[in-house]
Structure 1
Amino acid sequence: LRPSIPVPLTLTSLLPSSHSYRGLTLVLTFLSYTSYHLSRKPISIVKSQLHPNCSALGPNPHNDSNSTTWCSWAPFDGDNYKELFGALDNAFLVAYAIGMFISGIFGERLPLRYYLSGGMVLSGLFTSLFGLGYFWDIHVLWYFIIVQVCNGLVQTTGWPAVVACVGNWFGKGKRGLIMGIWNSHTSVGNILGSLIAGAWVSSAWGLSFVVPGIIITTVGIICFFFLVEYPEDVDCSPPLHHVMTTSEKDPEAVTANEGPLSLSGQSSVDHSNSPKEPAEEPEAISFLGALRIPGVVEFSLCLLFAKLVSYTFLYWLPLYIVNVAHFGAKEAGDLSTLFDVGGILGGIFAGLISDYTGGRATTCCVMLVVAAPMLFLYNHVGQNGIGISIAMLIICGALVNGPYALITTAVSADLGTHESLKGNAKALSTVTAIIDGTGSVGAALGPLLAGLISPTGWNNVFYMLIAADVLACLLLARVVVKEARGWCGPMARQRGYVVT
């Protein structure tokens, strides 16, 4: 039997309905990952303040030096500042990518509530330590590198835990739409992180890190007291994760059983009031076992290139706007949030379309194909006017982050509860970690390549991003063909993702 984890506070009396618990799970996990991304964003905003254009500020008021970097923050005051910024980004991202493969294994075996809240408190600590370097007047590169590495490792606790929690409560029906809306936490976190960091970037940039650190720590404490991991912990029925064989023989029965759209995304019949026996604890799946689940490898490799593009924008877009459009640091940070606004719309759109068509891979592939020419246009005409820039940022954000959002949420949950597991293994955290961990390799490569390529011109950076989008699309070719064949057969337009 699965060991009983104490239910937080007195939620069993406060929330009598399974729908209430599902709503609470969505809200808490949304706030959790919003705060994770909120705490990651400040570095991209503060970069332009660590190495600003000092000549625009006039001569050094403290001495007669004619240095053009007198206002920069050492050690980022040299001509190699872009390479140092790339090193900061990759210290976090490489640690995140390595840690993610391990994190899912721990997440499958430890209480998710403890694992998530502990990781959030530690993330708040290391985020704040970066900002405290300003107040402690630290100018040693290795201090910032070590803080970034530690932060990257502890931040891997977030994604496998929140996806597993949501997957435990929500079945497959309408999962794409629900998780598409829910996944807006990524963009909401980036937007809030940009705005919060921008509020102090020009005055005391250390607060741009300390305030987000306090926020993620606070949300982590809230999750510790209120998050419920499993429906069985509060006598609610677990969701159905795939269509039963009898239903497969009668497609009309599938539609009838799904009923109208509800918060659960599956049946409109509520069984939550029936007390349930403690569920037998299934065996946690191995790493190699998770890789053998059909579709895991293809979507993992696709996400590597999709996340490469997304994270290059995350870390370098504000600096690109400063250099090309000549905005100030705060204005560039505010304008860059429009990319994340587009990401929210793209994630919802991708989830809705993939639910309706049953084609997760096809939806991703189409959006990636369209994203390539739009990135080319943004680089060449996006700075011709504020209106064009706003429109292009929103469109590019939707097309770039839509597939990324769909793969890391609905696809990960589909594969983690794949019918090939036959209920004999826990795989949600491990599958999520494999997919996002592989994607995080791309997230590390993107900013690194941008740092190396940008001195040769921003055009070359965008050519690299376009090539990555095309490769991401090609890696899904086999799955797209499978989905297309399915549409022509008797199982046409079955909801959700199935590949063999």
Structure 2
Amino acid sequence: MRSLAPGIKLITSFSRDSWYRFFILLLTFVFYTTYHLSRKPISIIKSQLHRNCSNVIHPADLNITDNDTWCDWAPFDQNNYQNLFGVLDNCFLVAYAIGMFFSGIFGERLPLRYYLSSGMILSGIFTALFGLGFYWQIHSLWYYCLVQALNGLVQTTGWPAVVACVGNWFGKGKRGFIMGIWNSHTSVGNILGSLIAGVYVSSAWGLSFIVPGIIIAAAGVICFLFLVESKQEQKGNKNKDCRCLPLLRNSSSNEEIFSANTSTAVETVEDHTEAISFCGALRIPGVVEFSLCLLFAKLVSYTFLYWLPLYIANVAHFDPKKAGDLSTLFDVGGIVGGILAGLISDYSGGRATTCCAMLIIAAPMVSQTFFFLSFFAQTSGKMQTSVSTRCMLLWCGALVNGPYALITTAVSADLGTHECLRGNSRALSTVTAIIDGTGSIGAAVGPLLAGLISPTGWNNVFYMLIAADVLACLVRLKADVCCPGSCIRRSEDGVDTLQG
């Protein structure tokens, strides 16, 4: 009797649950990739909204005399254009930070398939509306600020929802490594967003937003059609009170516990515990400390995200597309850094120590990156081809985004499934939202400060980033994730208290 083909053997060796897990992991990866894909264009088109018009060919039919800003896009044609860019970034990031604190609460209580798909579709609409300002000839700062703020609010639907869904299907196992690979969607989205925006930025910058808007809206439709948010839903369980579950719970709650060496799942009794309160989640040991750590880490990461292409364009005199393409090296390094941080934390068993070590190294690396970018920008345009410059951007991205990725994924999952939560295990989405929401405050402050400081010199911006890295490390030193005897208990009146 002939044996099956090797490929068929491989396919049939996986159980149906394994295929579902792979499918959900792939779907959530794609979904959050589109979120970041739609955020990136704003950093690419900044150098197009305000250009050096002396280097731009003047159209013969354009009757303009003694105007050195004729090629700029109002209202960004003024001398304070960097401050206006900072305000534009801040409208998105402040709205995102505020909305994130509420998003986790909704994520624990609403059907995630509807919540996530509606968020992506709305985000696609608002992203496209920003680009339509090019075709509608809108020159009002208020219009762009309003669209950015609304987009920031609806984008908060993404992170708590995808983390909760992944947590429902995957157990502890090698959590840092798996989530480090999965979390590369952030950098992949930034890279794709840069490349897509770069295609249209010089010809019709409106398409740099419209195309990503269409992509994320289409992903929202796919989410509505295909997302299975829980194993119970896959099995036909109609209980609407059962939502996405944390990554690891006690055997007394409804869960799947996966061994690091096997994909076998052991199902237990169904969990009907109410979602944890906001104040109760804050009392989980380590949540406040890691939230503050992420605040400074995300400040650095998002300042690079929103300002690195403009900085490269200014100091190296590159066109917007070339500057955007070069800035993607920072995001490529972020992919490596996230995976490396997860792998090291799994091997060492110390997520907090891994974050601290990478933050300590990141501070001088940011300084060296600034030196290399400035030096090679002044040496006959060698910045584009310099191997040293490219390596510095890669390593800087790895060290800056590594701790950021680890805190928002594996650390958030560890805290949201802390051993002290035996009385209430449905905390993952809320804890994730608190940590990422606090980090988003830093993400809002960083680009705003960069816009205010950059007119005084780019070196001052880099000093600010180095100081933020040092503060993140100092805050981390106070974090103590393992607090024996400290537990959250819910009383009969529904109040969460810390007991120890």
Partners in 2 of 1:207 and 1:73 — Cα distance? 15
Q: Deviations over 1:408-457 (max 9, x none)?
A: 01111111111111152411110000000000000000000000000110
Other-structure match for 1:198 = 198
Asked whether the equivalents of residues 183 and 405 of structure 2 are also in contact (C-alpha less than 8 Å), the reply is yes
Tell me whether 1:207 sits opposite 2:207 in the alignment. Answer: yes
Displacement of 1:311 in angstroms is 0.2
1:49-128 equivalent positions in 2, closer than 5 A? 49-59=48-58, 61=60, 62-128=62-128
Q: Which amino acid aligns with 2:452?
A: L
Q: CA deviation at 1:228?
A: 1.1
- Letter in structure 2 aligned against 1:325: A
Displacement of 1:239 in angstroms is 8.3
Q: Using the alignment, how far apart are the partners of 2:47 and 2:268 within structure 1? A: 57
Q: Hey, what's the Cα distance between the residues in 1 that align with 2:172 and 2:388?
A: 39
Query: Judging changes above 3 Å, is the alpha-carbon distance between structure 1 residues 87 and 242 closer, same or farther for their aligned structure 2 residues?
Result: same
| Whole-angstrom CA distance in 1 between matches of 2:465 and 2:394 | 17
Out of 294, 313, 318, the position equivalent to 2:304 is 313
The answer on 1:23 being equivalent to 2:22 is: yes
Q: 1:123·1:213 contact (CA, 8 Å) conserved in 2?
A: yes
Query: Aligned pair 1:228/2:228, yes or no?
Result: yes
CA shift at 1:231, angstroms? Answer: 1.6
In the alignment, which residue of structure 2 is the partner of 1:413?
A: 413
Superposed CA deviations along residues 354-384 of structure 1, whole A, max 9, x for unmatched, are 0111111100000000000011111112342
1:241 to 243, 248, 265: 248
Per-residue displacement from partner, 1:40-91 (whole Å, max 9, x unpaired)?
0000001110111111114464114121110001111111111111110000
Q: Distance in 2 between matches of 1:239 and 1:96?
A: 24
The 3-state SS of whatever aligns with 1:283 is: coil
RMSD: 2.3
Alignment partner, residue 394 of structure 1: 394
170-179 or 382-391: bigger deviation: 382-391
Q: How many angstroms does 1:267 deviate by?
A: 5.1
Matched residue, 2:344: 353
- Structure 1 ranges of 4+ moved more than 3 A: 58-61, 235-240, 242-245, 264-267, 479-483
Contact 2:168 2:247 in 1 (8 A): no
Q: CA deviation at 1:278?
A: 8.0
- Structure-1 residue corresponding to 2:7: none
For residues 265 and 130 of structure 1, the distance between their equivalents in structure 2, rounded to whole angstroms, comes to: 47
Aligned AA (2:476): L
Q: Which residue does 2:471 correspond to in 1? A: 471
Separation in structure 1 between the aligned mates of residue 147 and residue 247 of structure 2, nearest angstrom: 42
- Counterpart residue type for residue 312 of structure 1: T
Match of 2:260 among 255, 262, 266: 266
State the identity as a percent: 70
Tell me what 1:288 maps to: 279
Cα distance, 1:317 vs structure 2? 0.2
1:328 CA drift (Å)? 1.1
Paired residue for 1:457? Answer: 457
CA spacing shift, 1:130–1:25, aligned 2, 3 Å:
same
Report the CA distance between 1:480 and its aligned residue.
Answer: 6.6
Q: Deviations over 1:239-285 (max 9, x none)?
A: 8715879xxxxxxxxxxxx9xxxxx663515247xxx6883322011
How far residue 166 of structure 1 moved from its aligned partner, in angstroms, is: 0.7
Equivalence for 1:297: 288
Paired with 2:259 and 2:307, the residues of 1 have a C-alpha distance of: 37
- Change over 3 Å in CA distance of 1:153–1:232 after alignment to 2: same
Where in structure 2 are there 5+ consecutive unaligned residues? 1-13, 238-244, 377-382, 484-499
- Residue identity matched to 2:179: M
Give 1:116 deviation, angstroms.
Answer: 0.5
| C-alpha deviation, 1:477, in angstroms | 0.7
The change in CA–CA distance for 1:265 and 1:354 in structure 2 (over 3 A counts) is: farther
SS in 2 for 1:69: coil
- 2:145 & 2:153 partners in 1: Cα distance? 13
* Aligned partner of residue 105 in structure 2, secondary structure: helix
Amino acid at match of 2:396: C
Letter in 2 for 1:55: S
Q: Find the partner of 1:367 among 358, 364, 374.
A: 358
Residue 206 of structure 1, CA deviation: 0.3
